[in-house]
Amino acid sequence: MPTFDASAAECHVFTFKEGLLSKVAHDLKLEVKEFEVQFDEASISARFDAASFGVVCVMKRGQPKPGTLKDKDKSDILQYLAQDVLQVHRYPEITFQSTEVTRIGSSVRVAGMLDLHGQKRRLSVLASSEGGRLVARVKVHQPDFGIKPFKALLGAIKVKPDVEVVLSIPAPQA
């Protein structure tokens, strides 16, 4: 079974701001730096190190805006993410195991179980072929996994409950 890690694959998490003072906050593009995805025609399994997140950049209207955040801001974001959001000391790993894989033309429909923050939930995603890669985009509703989205200033600045996870691996040969 082919195995991909961060040297050949990418995993990004996009967060979106909301709240009365959201104009002073940022949408973010995060990356998972340590993970492994095993993939074949019948099965997909993945393991992500919850403590390996990095801040890639600020996103504005869907476009990357590198250089917007200072290193201290990035460090603060990652510390809050690890300690308060993901609680990596209690839940160091995020895993996915498929229960069904169906090829549909150049796309693949995958259903399975996501284990995040000590909670297991069913997840279904359609991964599409894009430029020689298989790309899966899925919304994850944080409260479904017992995660309280970030909020500050009594909720005047907060992260929306839904984050978007984008996983990209080299496309398998048909």
**φ and ψ of 76, to 5 deg:** -65, -40
Cα separation of 55 and 32, whole Å? Answer: 9
For residue 92, give every residue at least 6 positions away whose Cβ sits within 8 Å of its Cβ, in sequence order, or none.
Answer: 49, 50, 51
Q: Which domain holds residue 109?
A: 3-170
Flag whether the pTM goes above 0.85. Answer: yes
Q: Check pLDDT > 60 for residue 119.
A: yes
For residue 66, give every residue at least 6 positions away whose Cβ sits within 8 Å of its Cβ, in sequence order, or none.
Answer: 56, 57, 58
For residue 146, give the CATH number of its domain. 2.40.128.110
Q: Check pLDDT > 80 for residue 173.
A: no
Q: 26 vs 48, which has greater pLDDT?
A: 48
Number of domains in the chain: 1
